[in-house]
Chains A and B, each alone.
Chain A
């Protein structure tokens, strides 16, 4: 299973763009990169998923360089409600979603 490394915590301010980078040096050919968000006392919620290059949805963008050894989750114009823990997961989805391993995540705090 590919191991991921991401910052333990980050701070930013309302209206700023936030970029959270995740390292996954031993990512395998069939692995996808998925990000989840978790608020206190709630279950995680899917944000975005990608395999290579760039993926964008209504919530975030995911940038994946050609070597796929890292990825960056970009949150545009954050608000206080974006304060949460963000998990970067890497796994072979063909084998099943249970192959996605949750690490400690990045605790993002948005300040007014």
Chain B
């Protein structure tokens, strides 16, 4: 049973470009969470999704950031018009149920030049 798969592992973008981060949850998991981690800091919750629905996006910046979890395919975190402050590690986690154990991926490290 493969774990949570994130890609790309590393992504470099110039200011103003778009970044797309993908997350495939563990098999059988329908709950997906995205977190952002700055160096030497803890993870900050961004958004919680179930298939085709955003359940909680209270941690998501109001502009430039969006997330989806379509019926088919991976969850996508999209950052438009990236700025240097978006440079961080973005982690995806999945769980089999609402309050269950979170299984994290290896993260996607975004660097904005």
Contact = CB atoms under 8 A, between A and B. Distances in A.
Contacts, number: 65
Interface string B81-113: 000000000010101001111111111000000
Interface in B29-58: 31, 33, 35, 40-45, 48, 55-56
A64 to B, nearest CB: 18
B4 interface: yes
A45 B41 CA distance: 16
Which of the four size classes fits the interface of chain B?
A: 20 to 34
Interface string A75-97: 00000000000010000011111
A43 B101 contact: no
Contact of A97 (B4, B40, B98): B98
B104 A43 contact: yes
B42 A104 contact: yes
A98 interface: yes
B101 A103 contact: no
Contacts of B103: 46
Contacts of A43: 4, 91, 93, 104-107
B91 A96 contact: no
A101 B45 contact: yes
B48 A44 contact: no
Given A43-B4, A87-B42, A98 B101 contact: no
Contacts of A49: 101
25 contacts: A41-B106, A42-B106, A43-B93, A44-B91, A44-B104, A87-B42, A87-B43, A95-B99, A96-B55, A96-B98, A97-B31, A97-B33, A97-B95, A97-B98, A97-B101, A97-B102, A98-B33, A98-B45, A98-B48, A98-B56, A98-B59, A102-B35, A102-B42, A103-B42, A104-B42
